[in-house]
Amino acid sequence: MPGSVIEAIGLRFQFSVCCAQPQTVIIRGTTGGAQSTAKSLPTMCGRYDLSENPAAIQAHFSVPSVPQFAVNSDVRPTERAPIIRINPLSGKRESTLARWGLVPAWAKDMKFGTHCINARVETMANLPAYRAAYRNRRCLVPVSAFFEWGGSGGKKTKWRVWLQDRPLFALAGLWERWTSSRDGQMVETYTIVTTAANERLFKVHDRMPVIVAPERYERWLDTGCTQMDLFVPVLEAGLRMDKG
C-alpha cells in the first residue's frame, strides 16, 4: 500500500503499514532481529543522553510525578532510567525507573537482558522475548539525544543525534517485570524499539530508534490499539547529528 506522511515534532515521518494484523508491518529497510535465543546482534541504540531533570519529564509527559534519578548524559545498558507507561491497575499514565535490557518473566536470570536492549519493529510482535510486552506492556523512553558509532575498521566516530528545539523527546519502548526464583526480588526492565535508519543515518548505521511524536504517545501506550502506525523517520531540518 502507498506510504503516508504525517507532520510531527518538527519532523516529517513516512510510513507504510498493514493494519489487518498487529504484527504485520511493511517498512522500508532490512528485516530480521534478535532471535528467541537472544544471541548478540548489532544494535542501533546502545547509548543515549537524558539531561533533563524529573520536573521537565513530569511536565512533558503529563505524569503525576517522576522518581528522582541522576541526570545522565550517557545512559548505558543495565543502568536504571525513567520510562513512561500505563499503570496496569489504575490505567493512568505514570513514570517509573527501570533497568535497560528487557528480561521476560520466563528468563532464568538477569543476564538475558544484556542481549535485549533493542527490539526490532519488524519482528517484536512474534519473537518470544518481546511479544508479550508488545501486546501488554509498552512504554515511552524519555531522551535528550541518542548515540551511534560509525566508521570503518578500528576507527569509530561517536555521533550524537537530537531534535532541534526539542530538549526532550520519546523513543518507543517495551517493558517487563521479572522475579528472581532465588530470592523473590522483582526487577522491571525495558527495551528500545528500532527500525530501518533514514537516509542520512544509514551512512552511520542501518538501524535507528523509533521516535514517537507527542500526539501519538497515547496511541503507542494503548495496548488495546492494534492498528499501530509504526513508521520510518525521514530526515528533515529538525534532526541534528553532531560528533559526540
Amino acid at 185: Q
Residue 12 lies in a domain: no
Residue 45 annotated to the active site: yes
Amino acid at 112: F
Residue 139 annotated to the active site: no
Residue 186 lies in a domain: yes
Spatial distance between the Cα atoms of 182 and 220, rounded to a whole number of angstroms: 34
Residue 37 lies in a domain: no
- Active-site residue (options: 122, 148, 176, 188): 148
Question: How many domains does the structure of the chain reveal?
Answer: 1
Non-local CB neighbours of 20 within 8 Å, separated by 6+ positions: none
Return the CATH number at 125.
Answer: 3.90.1680.10
- Active-site residue (options: 45, 52, 122, 176): 45
Decide: helix, strand or coil at residue 186.
Answer: strand
What would the pLDDT profile of 164-179 be if each residue is shown by its tens digit?
888 999 999 999 999 9
Residue 123 lies in a domain: yes
Residue 39 lies in a domain: no
User: Of all residues in the chain, what percent are helix, strand and coil, respectively (each to 5)?
Assistant: 15, 35, 50
What would the pLDDT profile of 183-239 be if each residue is shown by its tens digit?
989 999 999 999 888 777 777 878 889 888 898 899 899 988 765 555 545 445 577
Range of the domain at 115: 44-224
